[in-house]
């Protein structure tokens, strides 16, 4: 038995603002990432490997605000964050405010497995990456005309944008249960367009944007990070399952559709519990998402009306 659920960001994602070509491109990228993870899990691989490789697939795609597709900061740079966590022993690795790392989630896993720490940032994290042979890329690798235009628009308006003018929360993530009964979660992001002062959102924070515990669930969030940090969203869902006995879907809806709405936080999450149940819950107009299990085919969705 296995389950895998992924997301590529949530927000004001509507058919009216989406060309058929772009919709197809998003769906193909999500399906490709799902297939990567599905192949690992079907062949007896671990949930940890699956969520890392899925995240790498999405980080390598320019469509998503993570890795190669990361947005520009106010200084015209790219500052990326990522986290990975395993549910069997609660080990985790996280990184924030890094540049030129091809796959931040790979660095997060290296931090988890090759250091005594959980969370590294900035220059120190880059030194650790180089020591451990993590692939690096020049600034040009992370450049896209689309992201550059977003940045120019944000600068002209004097605003910090969540991803683009359609208000998309650009994060990617994956959660999985493997045949050994272990859960894992990963999340990666390029943050906010035109962000300043080393701002970090919820994505790399254990318990806020990412969490995995075999006793409850694996959760990866996407949304307005400040609210998800304040709501400790990923851990909150897991707590409702472990301590109050709520079902996964019920716990996710309570946090995203009730608590976060009252707090003013827009976004969503994907989750899988220790029994393999899955959830994709959001309070925005859409969320790039997909899932596959041992007995279901890959499904990719974008809009709030389930297609």
Tell me the whole-structure pTM to 2 decimals. Answer: 0.95
Band of residue 151 on the pLDDT scale cut at 50, 70, 90: confident
Q: Produce one character per residue of 81-112: b if its CB has 16 or more CB atoms within 10 Å, e if not.
A: bbbbbbbbeeebbbbbbbbbbbbbbbbbbbbb
Phi, psi of 43 (to 5 degrees): -90, 10
pLDDT at 167: 53
Q: Which residue has the higher pLDDT, 18 or 160?
A: 18
Ranges of H-type helices in 43-187? 47-59, 104-114, 122-131, 145-157
Q: Active-site residues: which are they?
A: 171
Q: Which residue has the higher pLDDT, 185 or 160?
A: 185
> What does the pLDDT look like over 95-124, one tens digit per residue?
999 999 999 999 999 999 999 999 999 999
Closest Cα partner for 295 from 271, 279, 276, 274?
Answer: 276
Closest Cα partner for 249 from 223, 282, 280?
Answer: 280
Q: What is the torsion angle, in degrees rounded to the nearest 10, for the CA atoms of residue 69, residue 303, residue 82 and residue 238?
A: 180
Tell me which of 93-97, 140-144, 185-189, 211-215 is least confident: 140-144
**How buried is 281 (Cβ within 10 angstroms: 0-12 exposed, 13-18 middle, 19+ buried)?**
buried
- For residues 227 and 265, the answer to whether their CB atoms sit within 8 Å is yes
């Amino acid at each position: 038995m296995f389950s895998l659920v992924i997301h590529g960001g949530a927000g004001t994602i509507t058919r009216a603002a989406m060309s058929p070509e772009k919709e197809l491109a998003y769906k193909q990228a999500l399906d490709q990432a799902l297939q990567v993870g599905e192949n690992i899990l079907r062949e007896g691989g671990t949930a940890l490997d699956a969520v890392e490789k899925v995240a790498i697939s999405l980080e390598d795609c320019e469509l998503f605000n993570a890795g190669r597709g990361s947005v520009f900061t106010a200084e015209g740079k790219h500052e990326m964050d990522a986290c990975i966590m395993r549910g069997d022993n609660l080990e985790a690795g996280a990184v924030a405010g890094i540049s030129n790392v091809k796959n931040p989630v790979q660095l997060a896993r290296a931090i988890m497995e090759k250091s005594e720490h959980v969370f590294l940032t900035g220059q120190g994290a880059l030194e650790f990456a180089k020591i451990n042979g993590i692939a690096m890329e020049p600034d040009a690798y992370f450049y896209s005309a689309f992201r550059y235009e977003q940045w120019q628009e944000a600068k002209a308006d004097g605003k910090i944008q969540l991803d683009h003018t359609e208000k998309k929360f650009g994060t990617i993530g994956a959660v999985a249960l493997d045949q050994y009964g272990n859960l894992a979660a990963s999340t990666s992001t390029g943050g906010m367009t035109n962000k300043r002062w080393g701002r970090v959102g919820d994505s790399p924070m254990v318990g806020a944007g990412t969490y995995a515990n075999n006793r409850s669930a694996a959760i990866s969030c996407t949304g307005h990070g400040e609210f998800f940090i304040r709501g400790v969203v990923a851990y909150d869902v897991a707590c409702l399952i472990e301590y109050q006995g709520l079902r996964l879907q019920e716990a996710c809806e309570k946090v995203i559709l009730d608590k976060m709405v009252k707090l003013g936080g827009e976004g969503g999450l994907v989750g899988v519990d220790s029994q393999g149940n899955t959830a994709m819950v959001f309070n925005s107009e859409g969320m790039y998402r997909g899932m596959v299990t041992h007995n279901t085919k890959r499904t990719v969705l974008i809009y709030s009306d389930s297609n």
